């Protein structure tokens, strides 16, 4: 396969030739005996590596399955996902890992399976499995009630570090939640309850423990500029979600409980600061925290609705819309969705369009901006918090050189575990 005259993230116009699963040449005037795709005027990017999804199996297939979640990923230009451990059963031992691995074989895109930590985890057997990362390690309860204390967190960091396994942390300190708001019933009550201070202090603590142990941690879904600063000062890495970049507490009147997630939406000032930090290079990666629930489940009171929103299909399109409007560079999008993710999680031959790398690619028309509609997306939950916003969706997505999505159609191609 040959992509002819594609514009890369850095603005160069190049031909990109694929042979088997790999990119074999990037240059000009290249020839190929196979299919040639006219990419003139279009952007060719490395596929997004989403380091944070919840595909809900085993345990909750009514919310999402590996098939529906991976279709949503492929249609959004995501070629690899890291699935989180808070399923039922949780992925905290060898049996839990093998059960999830069996289900994950239905994925259209490549994947990694993360291991979790609870009071019942079995580190000796879990860390012998090819897990994507240990975590997200929850420092406060979220969906799945996997919050742990400081002692268990220290043990988890040490064991994972000694095993050479990346560590991701959900950093919130429940002791700093604001109990004074529990009688409120408005949608903003959740943001008022799970305070910004609860995240900021938990990040500082998580990073301090890791530094004392000579380890590195990756902070999941950082929602505050102060949290980004704390992570950077400690020499650790962090991610930001699309909902913390493009939504704020100002949107909660319209979103209602469909805007409840952990950590919650922050002020508009903090949201603007996070987008600026992303553009300036101070945030390492974008990850979606794709966490679907059904409409019926979300249509409840603010204290009863589950936390989480879908996002794997809309993350890259939202970022590409920012590029279309001149607010974000394509090279920055490449870095935060692919190159930096590959570096942080040790995915060799991934995240960049270079000879010898995996042919995980996304082709987009940079001017093809459309309104985002939940009914057009492929997640089983069939809704989005970004309803009506605009995005630039891929025309074509390849995983290891195989076309998995093209012009609204999916191929019958199985993803692989990137850790095997």
**Would you please indicate which residues are annotated as catalytic (active-site) residues?**
289
Chain centroid, CA 184 distance in Å? 31
Strand 390-392, strand 396-399: pairing: unpaired
- What is the DSSP code string of 128-156? TS--S-EEEEESS--TT-----HHHHHHH
How far apart are the C-alpha atoms of 52 and 107, rounded to whole Å?
Answer: 15
Is there a binding annotation on residue 52? yes
Is there a binding annotation on residue 293? yes
Going by C-alpha positions, the residue among 252, 241, 244, 130 that lies closest to residue 187 is 252
Burial of 416 (0-12, 13-18, 19+ CB in 10 A): middle
Secondary structure E strands in 145-222: 167-170, 218-219
Is there a binding annotation on residue 170? yes
CB proximity list for 357: less than 8 A, separation 6 or greater: 22, 23, 46, 349, 350, 351
Judge contact between 243 and 311, C-beta under 8 A: yes
Judge contact between 83 and 106, C-beta under 8 A: no
Place of tokens 């396969």: 1
Judge contact between 110 and 399, C-beta under 8 A: yes
Is there a binding annotation on residue 289? yes
* Per-residue tokens: 198: 């609860």
Is there a binding annotation on residue 62? no
Helix segments in 309-375, DSSP class H: 315-324, 330-334, 340-344
How far apart are the C-alpha atoms of 346 and 277, rounded to whole Å?
Answer: 24
Judge contact between 292 and 314, C-beta under 8 A: no
Q: Three-state SS for 271?
A: helix
Phi, psi of 301 (to 5 degrees): -65, 160
How far apart are the C-alpha atoms of 355 and 208, rounded to whole Å?
Answer: 39
Is there a binding annotation on residue 221? yes
Place of tokens 């060719």: 44
Going by C-alpha positions, the residue among 24, 21, 48 that lies closest to residue 340 is 48
Residue set of the binding site: 52, 54-56, 86, 136, 170, 221, 289, 293
Residue set of the binding site for Zn(2+): 52, 54, 136, 170, 221, 289
Residue set of the binding site for substrate: 54-56, 86, 293
């Amino acid at each position: 396969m040959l992509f002819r005259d594609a514009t890369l993230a850095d603005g160069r116009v190049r031909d990109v030739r694929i042979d088997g699963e790999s990119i074999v040449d990037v240059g000009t005037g290249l020839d190929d005996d196979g299919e040639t795709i006219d990419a003139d005027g279009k952007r060719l990017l490395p596929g997004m590596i989403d380091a944070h999804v919840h595909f809900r199996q085993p345990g909750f297939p009514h919310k999402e399955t590996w098939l529906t979640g991976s279709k949503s990923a492929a249609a959004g230009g995501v070629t690899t996902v890291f699935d989180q451990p808070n399923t039922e059963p949780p992925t905290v031992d060898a049996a839990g890992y093998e059960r999830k691995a069996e289900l994950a074989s239905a994925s259209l895109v490549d994947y990694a399976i993360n291991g979790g930590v609870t009071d019942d985890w079995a580190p000796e057997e879990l860390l012998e499995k090819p897990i994507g990362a240990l975590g997200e390690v929850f420092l406060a309860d979220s969906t799945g009630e996997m919050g742990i204390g400081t002692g268990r967190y220290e043990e988890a960091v040490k064991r994972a570090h000694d095993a050479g396994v990346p560590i991701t942390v959900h950093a919130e300190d429940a002791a700093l939640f604001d109990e004074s708001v529990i009688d409120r019933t408005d949608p903003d009550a959740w943001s008022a309850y799970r305070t910004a201070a609860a995240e900021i202090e938990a990040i500082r603590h998580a990073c301090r423990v890791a530094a004392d142990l000579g380890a590195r941690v990756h902070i999941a879904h950082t929602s505050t500029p102060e949290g980004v600063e704390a992570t950077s000062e400690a020499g650790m890495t962090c991610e930001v979600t699309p909902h913390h970049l493009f939504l704020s507490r100002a949107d909660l009147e319209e979103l209602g409980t469909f805007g409840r997630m952990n950590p919650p939406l922050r002020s508009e000032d903090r949201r603007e600061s996070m987008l600026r930090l992303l553009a300036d290079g101070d945030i390492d990666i974008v990850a979606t925290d794709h966490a679907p629930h059904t409409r019926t489940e979300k249509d409840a009171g603010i204290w009863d609705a589950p936390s989480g929103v879908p996002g794997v299909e809309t993350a890259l399109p939202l970022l590409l819309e920012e590029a279309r409007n001149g607010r974000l560079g394509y090279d920055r999008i490449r870095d935060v969705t692919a190159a930096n993710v590959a570096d942080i999680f040790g995915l060799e031959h991934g995240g960049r369009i270079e000879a010898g790398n995996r042919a995980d690619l996304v082709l987009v028309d940079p001017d093809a901006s459309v309104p985002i509609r939940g009914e057009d997306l492929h997640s089983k939950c069939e809704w989005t918090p970004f309803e009506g916003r605009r995005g630039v969706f891929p025309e074509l997505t390849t995983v290891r050189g195989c076309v998995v999505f093209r012009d609204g159609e999916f191929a019958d191609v199985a993803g692989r575990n990137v850790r095997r």
